[in-house]
Amino acid sequence: MTALVFDTSCPAAVVGLVVDGAVQAERTLVSPKSHAERLAGLIEDVLAEAGAARTDLDEIVVGRGPGSFIGTRVALATAAGLSLATGAPLVGVCTVLAVAASEPGDGRVLALIDARKAEVYRRLVTWEAGAVRALDEARASSPSDAAAEAASCAAAIGATHLIQPPPTVRLVPRQGPNTIGLWRAARAPDARRGDVVLPNYCRAPDAKLPAGARPA
């Protein structure tokens, strides 16, 4: 089972190749403004390093956010084109869950992504017997609410610089998910499969209706 895995919804983009659950190649790029330009090259790099051909792909695993709206669409649009070309099914995964699954934990962990506008996207997970499981849905939250949630956790992972939890909480800073985290998230029950996988934006578009008007 060969999976091409990528996410561009966070400050650090990641592209990896996983064969039978083992990461064969991985590239990380911390440069949000150039993710759209560099993604194709990073995909070529991991395929070449792993000695895999496009036709070998059994699935394309891609983070569907929440995260940067534009970044999430960069990954999902690219993945949809690749999927049509190669016939490899598309699997959209929760990026916050993938962040949580990027490093093994024990017990409850709060995963965080910078949501800008003084908020974080957060999701609560639990690690039991080496497996990660989501305990709730991803959503936007204030940093103070997230810090209060983290207080009941063994650890917080991701954009931990945005919250100030009690010192008992172990902090695991990350700028985005890694390959194995995305691959693990693809085994979760909320992974989406299909020709069209849409982002989980967690927020409505920023648009104001004229007074008295209602959305169509």
Give the footprint of other proteins on this chain (CB under 8 A): 34, 36-41, 43-44, 54, 69-70, 73-74, 76-86, 195-196, 198-199, 201, 205-210, 213-216
Residues 6+ apart with CB under 8 A from 162: 112, 114, 120, 143, 146
Give whichever of 78 and 178 is closer to other proteins, judged by the CB atom: 78
Residues 6+ apart with CB under 8 A from 96: 66, 111, 112, 113, 121, 122, 123, 138, 158
Residues 6+ apart with CB under 8 A from 75: 6, 7, 8, 9, 39, 62, 63, 64
Give whichever of 57 and 153 is closer to other proteins, judged by the CB atom: 57
Give whichever of 22 and 204 is closer to other proteins, judged by the CB atom: 204
Give whichever of 79 and 186 is closer to other proteins, judged by the CB atom: 79
Minimum CB separation of residue 3 from other proteins in Å reads 15
Residue 1, helix vs strand vs coil = coil
Give whichever of 41 and 104 is closer to other proteins, judged by the CB atom: 41
Minimum CB separation of residue 78 from other proteins in Å reads 4
Give whichever of 13 and 150 is closer to other proteins, judged by the CB atom: 13
Minimum CB separation of residue 201 from other proteins in Å reads 7
Minimum CB separation of residue 69 from other proteins in Å reads 7
Minimum CB separation of residue 160 from other proteins in Å reads 28
User: Which pairs from 78-86 meet CB under 8 Å and 24+ separation?
Assistant: 78/6, 78/39, 78/40, 79/6, 79/197, 80/195, 80/196, 80/197, 82/4, 82/43, 82/54, 83/195, 84/195, 85/54, 86/54, 86/55, 86/57, 86/60
C-alpha distances (whole Å) from 52 to each of 43, 76, 86, 207 are 11, 21, 13, 44
**Pairwise CA distance, residues 137 & 38, whole Å:** 31
Minimum CB separation of residue 136 from other proteins in Å reads 24
